[in-house]
Amino acid sequence: MSEAQENRDVPIGMGSDDFSRYLMDRIKMLEERNNLLREQANKIELEKRFTEGQKLKYERELRQIKSELERLKAPPLVVGSVVDVLENGKVIIRSSTGPQFVVGSSQIINSSELVPGARVSLNYQSLAIIGVLPSSRDPYVNAMEVIDSPSTSYSDIGGLEEQIREVRETVELPLTRPEVFERIGIEPPKGVLLYGPPGTGKTLLAKAVASQTKASFIRIVGSELVQKYIGEGARLVRDLFKMAKDKSPSIIFIDELDSIGARRIDTATSGDREVQRTLMQLLSEMDGFNARGDVRIIAATNRPDILDPALLRPGRFDRFISIPMPGKEARAMILKIHSRKMKLAEDVDFDELAALTENANGSDLRAVTMEAGMFAVREERYSIIMDDFLKAIKKLTISSTKPSLHSEGMFA
C-alpha cells in the first residue's frame, strides 16, 4: 500500500500514536459488542429451547385431553357375571339386566380368570367380554377395618389379669406361635365370647387386643348387620368374613352380639325374621362348610342369657370368658390407672376409695376420677385432694342398694 493511501484512511489531524490508540479503543469496543451479542444469542437460544419444551408439553397434554375425550365418548360397558365356560371358547354370562347370553371374550384376557361367578365387563353392543372386574365388596364393610390401632394396652386394664391371659391364649397365641398347637396336635380356639355386666371392660379388652396384635382388626357392632331389605344383612356378613379371609391373619370383634344373636322364636314379625336370616348367615360363616381360615372372632355381650343356643356351641365360640364386677383390689387398681396422669395430693388413699365404691364398675370409677378433677378445677387448685374424691362418690351416689349410674340393661 502506498503512503498516500495510508494517509487517506487516517483521520485528519491525527498522528500515528493517536491512530494506534484509536484502533485499540475501537477493537476493545467491538469485542465488548461481540460479547454482548453472544450473551444475547445464548439467552435467545435458551428461550428457544424452553419454548420448544413448553410446546412439547402442551402437545402431550393436548393428546392426553383428546384421548380422555375419546374415552369419555366411548359407549359404556355392561357389568355381568360368568355363569359357565364352554369348550369352544364361548362363555355363558348373565348381564346386569337379568338375561343370560352366550358370548365371546377378548384374547388378552387370561382364560384362568374366567371362572363361574367372576364379575366381567361386557361390550355395550355385542356383549363380548372386555375385561375381568375385581370381586364386589360393600364399602360399608371396608370401613369396619381398624386402620389406626387404639392406644389402649393391657396395662390400662385393672383387675382382669386372668381374663387377659385367657384372651391372649385364645386370640394372640394362635396368630403369633401356631407351632405350639401343632406340636401338641390340637387346633387353636377360633372364637371367644366376653360376657359380663356393662362397664366392666369388655370393649376395652378388645381395644387392647387390637393395639397389641399385628393382625388386621375388624370391628363391628351387631346392630350394624341389621338392614332394611331382605338379604342385605346376610350379604354384609358374607362380605365381612370374605374381607377377613383376604386380610388374614385377622380378628373380627363383634360388639353387642345379643342385638343379632338373640334366641330364635316361632312367633316373629318380618323384621325379626330378617334378623334371624342374618344370624343364620353368621352361624354358617363361623362354622360352615367352608373353612374359616386364619380368622379369630371376639364377641362381647351383657346378655348371654338371651343368646341363641346354636351360637354358643363349641366350634363357634370355643371359650367363654366372664368379665365380673371389680373387687376391692381391682377397684383400687382401676382408680390408680384413671388417675395416673392427674396431679394428686398426698392424702389421696385409693384403698379407702375402693372400699367406698363397693358396687362400682370400671365406667363408674372413671366417672369418679373425672368428677374429682372437676371439683379441683372449680376451686382453681393445682392438685386433687381426697375430699374431691369423696364429693365425687357422694355426687354419683354409688351404693349397694342403688344400681350403678352408668349401668344399662340387665344381666342374668
pLDDT surpasses 50 at 312: yes
Rounded Cα distance between 305 and 291, Å, is 29
Average pLDDT, the chain: 80
Q: Which of 305, 322, 339 is the last residue of a domain?
A: 322
User: 302 with 378, same domain?
Assistant: no
Look up the pTM and report it. Answer: 0.64
Say how far residue 406 (Cα) sits from the centre of its chain: 30
Domain range for residue 354?
A: 328-396
End residue of a domain, out of 72, 88, 108: 72
Q: What is the mean pLDDT of residues 62-88?
A: 82
Both 163 and 307 in a single domain?
yes
Assigned domain for 411 exists: no
Q: Are residues 192 and 271 in the same domain?
A: yes
Is residue 271 domain-shared with residue 337, that is, in the same domain? no
Higher pLDDT, 112 or 136: 112
Q: Are residue 171 and residue 290 in the same domain, yes or no? A: yes
316 and 363 inside one domain: no
- For 334-390, how does the pLDDT look when each residue is reduced to its tens digit (9 = 90+)? 888 888 888 888 888 888 888 888 888 888 888 888 988 898 888 888 888 888 888
Question: Is the omega angle on the peptide bond into residue 134 within 30 degrees of 0, that is, cis?
Answer: no
**In terms of domains, do 147 and 224 share one?**
yes
Helix (H, G, I), strand (E, B) or coil at 373: helix
pLDDT (tens digit per residue) in 241-274: 888 888 878 888 888 888 888 887 766 666 677 7
67: amino acid identity, one letter? S
Please give the Cα distance from 310 to 332 (Å, whole number).
39
Q: Give the pLDDT confidence score for residue 407 in this predicted structure.
A: 42
Same domain assignment for residues 162 and 257: yes
Task: Fill in the DSSP letter of residue 10.
Answer: S
Q: Which of 29, 54, 72 is the last residue of a domain?
A: 72
Q: What is the pLDDT of residue 58?
A: 92
**What does the pLDDT look like over 377-411, one tens digit per residue?**
888 888 888 888 888 888 886 544 444 444 444 34
pLDDT above 80: residue 129? yes
Q: What's the pLDDT at 405?
A: 42
Same domain assignment for residues 64 and 170 = no
**Total domain count, the chain:** 4
CATH number of the CATH domain containing 342: 1.10.8.60
CA distance 95 to 83: 10
Residue 373 belongs to a domain: yes
Backbone angles phi, psi at 393, to 5 degrees: -65, -40
**Confidence label for 293 from pLDDT (cuts 50, 70 and 90):** low
114 in the same domain as 47:
no
pLDDT at 149: 66
Question: pLDDT tens digits for 175-233?
Answer: 778 888 888 888 877 788 898 888 888 888 888 887 777 778 888 887 777 776 777 77
Q: Is residue 382 domain-shared with residue 332, that is, in the same domain?
A: yes
Tell whether 382 is covered by a domain. Answer: yes
CA distance 178 to 333: 33
The answer to whether position 402 is within a domain reads no
Q: What is the CATH number of the domain that holds 102?
A: 2.40.50.140
Cα 237-240-241 angle, rounded to 5 deg: 90
Q: For position 11, what pLDDT does the model report? A: 55
240 shares its domain with 154? yes
Q: What is the CATH number of the domain that holds 154?
A: 3.40.50.300
Between CA 123 and CA 131 the distance in angstroms is 10
